[in-house]
């Protein structure tokens, strides 16, 4: 009997079709939403992509705002994004949105927790492969982003890692001698801010 | 010369426990080239008689000779296949109902006997000739439902003639036709008899029609009452 | 004019009835061809899938989960190891064509999700593994070369998650060693998609598992007796043997019972079709009672009539069977989707393989069964006596 089970398991693994997860979802949305918004009573999940919302034109617009081009195998126009809208009864009390970002040694999943006016309420790096992962995932590092808005990042140039408001300039890299992943995180934050604004506008327009 | 000789033909049907003598010791002869008109009231046994002559049925007893061959003798039953062989050789049949195959054209209907009679080869000339005689040449590619009753009976006659039979059995051939069409069929039969020397055995209860016969057989209750 | 034409035209007389009879036969032919095609296709695909695994036998340490899904369920624990020396023992056997040693390792990564997660790595022998899995194709790059110690190959989804392209660097949790991505596999639809492949020695070194293996893939020589060799393997201490032949037999026996049920349904469909034919033809014989009598008066022998009716039946059946075969070909994809939906295990590849042999066999079977259904009406028709038929008109 055991052998039979083993055989079946093996074969099911051999045969089962899995479908790609290119997007960036919360691993455990129920728990994560409660963690960031303890007062929440529920949340809605919306799946969006630049491709469907506005195509090439929108992509251009985003790249312009970001100050950098989408590049590589995984940062494409058809990546699905997941926007979580958080409710307390009927009232929207915030949003959570995460994006994938290519890091030095692996993928980063950078989530931002927003208040309804799109001020950053919290920062959460769900996944991070880095030699300095511990510091970058620390509470101290995350807290630095609280209260920032798109305005702060408007002049930030991800290519040179220059510019941005004083608050952005004040963001502290825990490992000044190794800034690849720090820069990647800042780029992800700016991209997250831009996309979240677009997605929420699109959602309201509906 | 006698083509058909019958001696003491008897046909007994069993209807429950009752015996019905449809033919009761009938004897007669028909010569080659005769038109024999068999008349009589319904149930007199005229159809039974021509069925036995035409080898569609076995007699219960008696002797039937056709062209010198003893076909039936003293109630010896023939098998279906044996009867078929005699029928192929001597007879063509036409009936009150025309029994054309509805899915076949006039020409195809006429050719049906040749499908089953391997020894029968039908040339195009033969077909044209038969169609001409019966005046249905221009209808040869029509289907039966497109024909009038008279035309259908002509097709049935043409079909009966295709194997060049010596004897044509016609059982009430005009029973389903109006008087004008009946007249036409009568003329055709007379003509066939005259020009082709086909012996015709005609069953009818129409005394006018019976007049075309040079020989008359009148029947009543399974017996011949008049033969001349 | 011949009997065939008469029969054929008879069928056109009642077009609707002919149509429905043909449809009935077509449906049963369709079922039959699809089932036979499935019978063949399933086994072929299963064989192909199993051959594609490259190994006929996998040797693991007793009680060791050798499959990623099981490992994930157990949270990456429960792995057991065999000494690397076992490779030499197995290689000695004359039945063995090739072996490939593997080490599967599950490592806790604290930076994966809120509370950390498990990543699974497979250490493989760059010399033998690619050869044993020739069906693995690359989206980018290629396997690491034989002596490489710092390269890595990613399954399609693993690469997506890590956002890696060839040339990118990677590190393993708890280690500072940098690996360079040498290749990214195409999507396979198997557990390989989520796998991270490293050179066996590098993985052993990184996680301190020198000299240890979790699995040994064995490819047998073509002429070797797999069953005998399995017995042989059990003499080694503390190993379990998983053979693909067993897997295949298990699956086949599961599928066989399903097939028996379906075949019996097909058989019933067959019987229904046969009685449908019998009924239709018998009805048409009774309808043409007089006509058949007249044909006999015109010289048709009983055997001619028998032949005529049987030809009608054969025409109906052949037509139905032909359409059934066409339908089964046309809808093979749809049938396959349905089968995939209902069956628990379906291999890749064509599940329904209809070839000329199956088509011919089904055609013959349907025609034969239909003709058997036509025999009784044909006999009845042959027995009609012309006199009775003509009399029936009075």
Chain A positions touching C156 (Cβ under 8 A) are 20
B touches C, CB cut-off 8 Å, minimum 3 pairs: yes
For residue A18, the model assigns a pLDDT of 35
Q: Which residue of C has its CA nearest to B58?
A: C387
Residue A102 lies in a domain: yes
Q: Show the tokens assigned to B195.
A: 């020009």
Nearest-Cα distance to chain B for C304, in Å, is: 7
Q: How far apart are CA A36 and CA B147, in angstroms?
A: 94
For residue C74, the model assigns a pLDDT of 64
**Length of chain A in residues, anyone?**
206
Q: How far apart are CA A27 and CA A127, in angstroms?
A: 10
Integer angstrom CA distances of residue C27 from C88, C293, C357: 59, 35, 19
For residue C344, the model assigns a pLDDT of 65
Entry pTM: 0.59
Distance of CA C326 to the CA centre of its chain: 21
C100 with C34, same domain? Answer: no
Residue A13 lies in a domain: no
Residues of C contacting chain B (CB within 8 angstroms): 1-3, 5-6, 9-10, 12-13, 290-291, 294-302, 304, 385-387, 390, 393
A touches C, CB cut-off 8 Å, minimum 3 pairs: yes
Q: At what angle do helices C356-383 and C244-287 cross, to 10 degrees?
A: 30
- C348 interfacial to chain A (CB closer than 8 Å): yes
C224 with C174, same domain? Answer: yes
Q: Show the tokens assigned to C265.
A: 């349904």
C229 with C312, same domain? Answer: no
Interface of B with C in 132-191 (CB under 8 A): 159, 163, 171
Chain C positions touching A130 (Cβ under 8 A) are 111, 171
C273 with C169, same domain? Answer: no
Distance of CA C114 to the CA centre of its chain: 42
Kindly report, residue by residue over A95-110, the tens digit of the pLDDT.
Answer: 999 999 998 888 899 9
Q: Which residue of A has its CA nearest to C67?
A: A10
Residue C4's φ and ψ, nearest 5 degrees, are: -55, -45
C72 with C43, same domain? Answer: no
> What ipTM was assigned to the predicted interfaces of this complex?
0.84
- B177 Cβ partners below 8 Å, 6+ apart? B149, B150, B153, B185
Q: How far apart are CA C46 and CA C252, in angstroms?
A: 9
Q: How far apart are CA C137 and CA C183, in angstroms?
A: 10
For residue A21, the model assigns a pLDDT of 39
For residue A27, the model assigns a pLDDT of 86
Kindly report, residue by residue over B25-37, the tens digit of the pLDDT.
Answer: 899 999 998 999 9
Residue C244 lies in a domain: no
Q: Are the C-beta atoms of B210 and B33 separated by less than 8 Å? A: no
Domain boundaries, chain B: 34-58+78-227
Chain B positions touching C295 (Cβ under 8 A) are 112, 116
Judge: C190–A133 Cβ closer than 8 Å, yes or no. Answer: no
Residue A6 lies in a domain: no
Residue C368 lies in a domain: yes
Fold classification of B34-58+78-227 (topology level): Rossmann fold (3.40.50)
Query: Reduced to 3 states, what is the DSSP secondary structure of residue B32?
Result: coil
- Structural domain boundaries, residue A52: 23-205
Chain B positions touching C12 (Cβ under 8 A) are 103
Q: How far apart are CA A88 and CA A104, in angstroms?
A: 39
Residue with tokens 């990118």: C168
Judge: B99–C387 Cβ closer than 8 Å, yes or no. Answer: no
Query: Is the pLDDT at A39 greater than 90, yes or no?
Result: yes
For residue C298, the model assigns a pLDDT of 84
Domains identified in chain C, total number: 2
For residue A12, the model assigns a pLDDT of 46
Q: How far apart are CA C288 and CA C393, in angstroms?
A: 12
Q: Show the tokens assigned to C340.
A: 């995939």
Q: How far apart are CA B224 and CA A204, in angstroms?
A: 110
Of C237, C264, C293, the position where a domain reaches its end is: C237
- B111 interfacial to chain C (CB closer than 8 Å): yes
Q: How far apart are CA C95 and CA C264, in angstroms?
A: 42
Selected for mutation to probe chain A from C164, C181, C341 (highest A CB count within 10 Å) is C164
Residue ranges of chain C with pLDDT lower than 50?
394
CA angle C387, C390, C394 (to 5 degrees): 120
- B172 Cβ partners below 8 Å, 6+ apart? B95, B96, B203, B204, B205
Residue ranges of chain B with pLDDT lower than 50?
none
Strands (E) in chain C, as ranges, are 57-61, 82-83, 96-109, 117-124, 138-141, 151-154, 169-171, 178-185, 196-199, 212-213, 215-220, 239-243
Q: How far apart are CA C222 and CA C212, in angstroms?
A: 29
For residue A14, the model assigns a pLDDT of 42
| Per-residue H/E/C for B74-139 | CCCCCCHHHHHHHHHHHEEEEECCCCCCCCCCHHHHHHHHHHHCCCCCCCHHHHHHHHHHCCCHHH
Chain C positions touching A31 (Cβ under 8 A) are 114
Q: Show the tokens assigned to A63.
A: 């790249």
Chain C positions touching A15 (Cβ under 8 A) are 49, 189-190, 345-348
For residue C72, the model assigns a pLDDT of 64
- A167 interfacial to chain C (CB closer than 8 Å): no
Q: Which residue of A has its CA nearest to C155?
A: A20
Q: Are the C-beta atoms of B153 and B173 separated by less than 8 Å? A: yes
C208 with C147, same domain? Answer: yes
Model confidence band, residue A22 (pLDDT cutoffs 50, 70, 90): low
Residue C280 lies in a domain: yes
Kindly report, residue by residue over A53-92, the tens digit of the pLDDT.
Answer: 888 999 999 999 999 998 888 888 888 899 999 999 999 9
Nearest Cα residue to A3 out of B192, C243, C389, C145: C243
Model confidence band, residue A1 (pLDDT cutoffs 50, 70, 90): very low
Stated as kind and residue range, the H or E segment containing C255 is helix C244-287
For residue C387, the model assigns a pLDDT of 76
Closest partner CB to B84 (pick from C3, C9, C301):
C301
Integer angstrom CA distances of residue B186 from A167, B26, B171, B208, B217: 123, 27, 13, 10, 18
Query: Is the pLDDT at A10 greater than 50, yes or no?
Result: no
- Structural domain boundaries, residue C145: 63-237
Query: Is the pLDDT at A20 greater than 60, yes or no?
Result: no
Domains identified in chain A, total number: 1
What sign does the dihedral C304-C310-C314-C316 (CA atoms) show? positive
The region that residue B65 occupies, defined by phi over 0 for left and psi between -120 and 50 for alpha, beta otherwise, is beta
C104 with C232, same domain? Answer: yes
Choice between B7 and A22, residue whose per-residue pLDDT is larger: B7
- B120 Cβ partners below 8 Å, 6+ apart? B88, B113, B114, B162, B163, C299
Q: How far apart are CA B201 and CA B218, in angstroms?
A: 13
Q: How far apart are CA C127 and CA C386, in angstroms?
A: 87
Q: How far apart are CA C181 and CA C198, in angstroms?
A: 10
Classify residue A77 by its DSSP letter: T
Residue C9 lies in a domain: yes
Q: How far apart are CA C85 and CA B70, in angstroms?
A: 105
Sequence-ordered alpha helix ranges (H) in chain A:
2-15, 29-36, 50-53, 55-66, 133-136, 139-143, 150-153, 166-169, 180-205
Q: At what angle do helices C244-287 and A2-15 cross, to 10 degrees?
A: 70
**Length of chain C in residues, anyone?**
394
């Amino acid at each position: 009997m055991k052998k039979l089970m083993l055989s079946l398991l093996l074969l099911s693994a051999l045969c089962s079709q899995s479908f790609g997860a290119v997007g960036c979802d919360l691993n455990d949305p129920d728990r994560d939403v409660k963690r960031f918004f303890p007062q929440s009573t529920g949340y809605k999940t919306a799946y969006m992509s630049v491709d469907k919302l506005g195509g090439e034109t929108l992509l251009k617009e985003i790249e312009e705002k970001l100050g950098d081009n989408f590049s590589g195998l995984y940062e494409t126009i058809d990546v699905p994004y997941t926007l979580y809208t958080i409710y307390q009864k009927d009232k929207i009390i915030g949003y959570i949105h995460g994006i994938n970002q290519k890091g030095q040694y692996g993928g980063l999943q950078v989530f931002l927790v927003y208040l309804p006016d799109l001020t950053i309420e919290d920062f959460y790096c769900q996944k991070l492969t880095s030699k300095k992962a511990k510091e970058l995932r620390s509470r101290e590092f995350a807290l630095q982003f609280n209260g920032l808005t798109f305005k702060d990042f408007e002049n930030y140039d991800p290519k040179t890692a220059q510019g941005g408001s004083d608050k952005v300039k004040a963001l502290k890299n825990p490992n000044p001698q190794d800034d690849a992943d720090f820069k990647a995180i800042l780029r992800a934050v700016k991209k997250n801010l831009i996309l979240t604004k677009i997605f929420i506008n699109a959602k309201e327009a509906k | 010369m006698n083509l058909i000789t019958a001696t003491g033909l008897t046909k007994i049907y069993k209807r429950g426990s009752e015996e019905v003598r449809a033919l009761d010791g009938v004897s007669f002869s028909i010569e080659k080239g005769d038109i024999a008109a068999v008349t009589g009231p319904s149930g007199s046994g005229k159809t039974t008689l021509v069925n036995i002559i035409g080898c569609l049925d076995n007699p219960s007893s008696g002797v039937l000779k056709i062209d010198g061959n003893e076909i039936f003798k003293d109630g010896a039953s023939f098998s279906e296949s044996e009867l078929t062989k005699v029928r192929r050789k001597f007879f063509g049949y036409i009936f009150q109902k025309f029994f054309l195959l509805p899915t076949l054209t006039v020409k195809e209907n006429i050719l049906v006997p040749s499908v089953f009679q391997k020894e029968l080869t039908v040339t195009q000339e033969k077909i044209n000739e038969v169609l001409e005689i019966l005046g249905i040449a221009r209808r040869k590619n029509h289907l039966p439902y497109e024909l009038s009753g008279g035309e259908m009976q002509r097709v049935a006659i043409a079909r009966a003639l295709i194997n060049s039979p010596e004897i044509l059995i016609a059982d009430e051939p005009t029973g389903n036709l109006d008087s004008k069409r009946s007249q036409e069929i009568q003329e055709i039969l007379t003509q066939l008899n005259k020009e082709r020397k086909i012996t015709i055995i005609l069953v009818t209860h129409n005394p006018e029609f019976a007049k075309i016969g040079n020989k008359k057989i009148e029947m009543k209750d399974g017996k011949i009452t008049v033969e001349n | 004019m011949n009997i065939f034409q008469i029969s054929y035209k008879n069928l056109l007389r009642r077009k609707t009835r002919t149509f429905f009879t043909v449809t009935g036969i077509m449906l049963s032919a369709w079922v039959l061809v699809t089932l036979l095609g499935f019978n063949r296709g399933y086994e072929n695909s299963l064989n192909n899938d199993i051959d594609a695994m490259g190994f006929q036998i996998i040797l693991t340490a007793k009680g060791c989960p050798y499959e990623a899904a099981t490992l994930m369920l157990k949270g990456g624990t429960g792995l057991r190891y065999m000494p690397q020396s076992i490779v030499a023992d197995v290689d000695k056997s004359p039945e063995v064509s090739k072996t490939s040693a593997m080490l599967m390792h599950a490592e806790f990564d604290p930076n994966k999700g809120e509370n950390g997660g498990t990543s699974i790595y497979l250490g493989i022998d760059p010399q033998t593994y690619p050869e044993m899995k020739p069906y693995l194709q690359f989206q980018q790059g290629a396997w690491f070369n034989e002596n490489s110690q710092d390269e890595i190959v990613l399954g399609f989804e693993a690469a997506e998650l890590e956002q890696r392209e060839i040339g990118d660097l990677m590190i393993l949790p708890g280690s500072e060693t940098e690996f360079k991505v040498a290749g990214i596999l195409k999507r396979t639809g198997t557990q390989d998609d989520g796998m991270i492949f490293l050179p066996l020695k590098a993985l052993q070194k990184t996680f301190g598992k020198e000299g240890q293996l979790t699995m040994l893939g064995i490819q047998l020589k073509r002429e070797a007796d797999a069953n005998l060799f399995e017995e042989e393997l059990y003499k080694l201490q503390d190993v379990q043997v998983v053979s693909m032949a067993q897997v295949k037999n298990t699956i086949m026996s599961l599928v066989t019972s399903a097939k028996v049920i379906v075949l019996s349904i097909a058989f019933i469909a067959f019987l229904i079709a046969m009685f449908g034919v019998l009924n239709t033809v018998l009805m048409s014989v009774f309808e043409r009672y007089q006509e058949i009598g007249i044909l006999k008066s015109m010289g048709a022998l009983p055997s001619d009539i028998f032949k005529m009716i049987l030809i009608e039946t054969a025409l109906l059946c052949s037509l139905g069977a032909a359409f059934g075969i066409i339908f089964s070909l046309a809808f093979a994809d749809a049938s396959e989707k349905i089968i995939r939906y209902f069956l628990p295990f379906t291999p890749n590849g064509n599940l329904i393989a209809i070839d000329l042999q199956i088509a011919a066999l089904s055609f013959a079977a349907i025609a034969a069964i239909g003709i058997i259904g036509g025999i009784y009406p044909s006999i009845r028709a042959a027995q009609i006596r012309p006199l009775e038929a003509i009399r029936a008109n009075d």
